[in-house]
Amino acid sequence: MRWLADVHVALRSGIADPEGQTIAGGLRALGHLTVDEVRAGKLLRIRFEAADAAAAEAAVSDMVRRLLANPVMEEAWWEVRSDVAAPVPERIG
């Protein structure tokens, strides 16, 4: 069965985020003066095969633990769903 995982990876609280600070400054420069903080991260969308939901969850957990996130500096969370019902992402531009 095909699965789709959305894995979110972000720096842990307390870790400096220069990319987020730059984005926050840019938003304020564009007139969004109420922007207080931005934390940048990444979204990884992974399509893969697994026998069932439990095997899919275990596979994503292993991917995150072994490659996708550095547990010293980053935290990760994810959602796994059947690829059959995968929504088409909205695109800007």
The strand ranges marked E within the chain are 2-11, 41-49, 74-82
pLDDT of residue 91: 75
Q: Coil, strand, or helix at residue 4?
A: strand
- Domain range for 67: 2-15+41-85
pLDDT of residue 13: 94
Q: Does position 82 have pLDDT exceeding 90, yes or no?
A: yes
Quick: pLDDT tens for 7-64. Answer: 999 999 999 999 999 999 999 999 999 999 999 999 999 999 999 999 999 999 999 9
Residue 71 placed within a domain: yes
pLDDT of residue 84: 82
Sequence-ordered alpha helix ranges (H) in 1-93: 18-29, 53-63
pLDDT of residue 87: 57
CA 92 to chain centroid: 18
Q: Coil, strand, or helix at residue 51?
A: coil
Residue 32 placed within a domain: no
CATH of the domain at 79: 3.30.1280.10
Number of domains the chain contains: 1
Q: Which two tokens stand for residue 6?
A: 């959305």
